[in-house]
Amino acid sequence: MNVCVFGASSTQIDPSYIALTETLGEQLAAEGHTLVYGAGGSGLMGAVARGMTRGGGRIVGVVPSFFKVDGILYEHCDEIVYTDTMRQRKQIMDERSDAFVVTPGGIGTYEEFFEIYTLRQLARHNKPIIIFNINGYYDKLLEVLEHTVEERFMQESCLQLYTVATTPEQVLEQLAATQDASQIEDNKYL
């Protein structure tokens, strides 16, 4: 499965976020998944990539050409796809991915999450979205989404369009469950 991981590029974050995201990368690799991500070498982007490298996994980085600056990109990507714009970057990551994992991040990560979430709500894809809620980072965001439903700006069914995991193992379990479900769906007409 091609798994897109969104996350921070910040180097100022608590080391516990880094450690758990590196573990996620190792476990994704151990399960034979391919990482599709923003090609960054620092923060949680770098952490998931380092974990994938340690685990022997395949890494596809997708990045706008203007980020092609020394020290920005992860040097061990198996493939790098250069784009002209951030919008093209997200489109390619969407097209090349079977599932999305949202690790903690800043405004760019929020924007990536909300775009893929909106596209799922609009039935433009049916790919799993897993929020990796390390250290309760996304608790407030999840509360906002629930509040949005309570105030009737969003239907309650939209809360079913993503799942939440707090450990790398839970992320992998949720990916396996969705993979099993899609295989059942694919085989039901055989």
Can you give the chain as a three-state secondary structure string? Answer: CEEEEECCCCCCCCHHHHHHHHHHHHHHHHCCCEEEECCECCHHHHHHHHHHHHHCCEEEEEEEHHHCCCCCECCCCCEEEEECCHHHHHHHHHHCCCEEEECCCCHHHHHHHHHHHHHHHCCCCCCCEEEECHHHCCHHHHHHHHHHHHCCCCCHHHHHCCEEECCHHHHHHHHHHHHHHHHHHHHCCC
Global pTM reads 0.93
Q: What is the pLDDT of residue 190?
A: 36
Position 181 scores a pLDDT of 60
Residue-wise pLDDT for 130-150, tens only, equals 999 999 999 999 999 999 999
Question: What tokens appear for 145 in the block?
Answer: 């989404």
pLDDT of the residue at 115: 97
Residue 55 vs residues 3, 29, 181: alpha-carbon distances, Å = 15, 5, 26
Low pLDDT (below 50) residues in the chain: 183-190
User: Any bridge partners for residue 101, and if so which?
Assistant: 5, 130
Distance CA 37, CA 154 (A): 29
Buried b (16+ CB within 10 A) or exposed e, 9-48: beeebeeebbebbbbbbbbbbeeebbbbbbbbbbbbbbbb
Strand partners, 37: 61
CA distance 76 to 36: 13
Q: For the chain, first and last CA: distance in Å?
A: 22
Q: What is the pLDDT of residue 187?
A: 40
- What CA–CA distance (Å, rounded) separates 10 from 151? 34
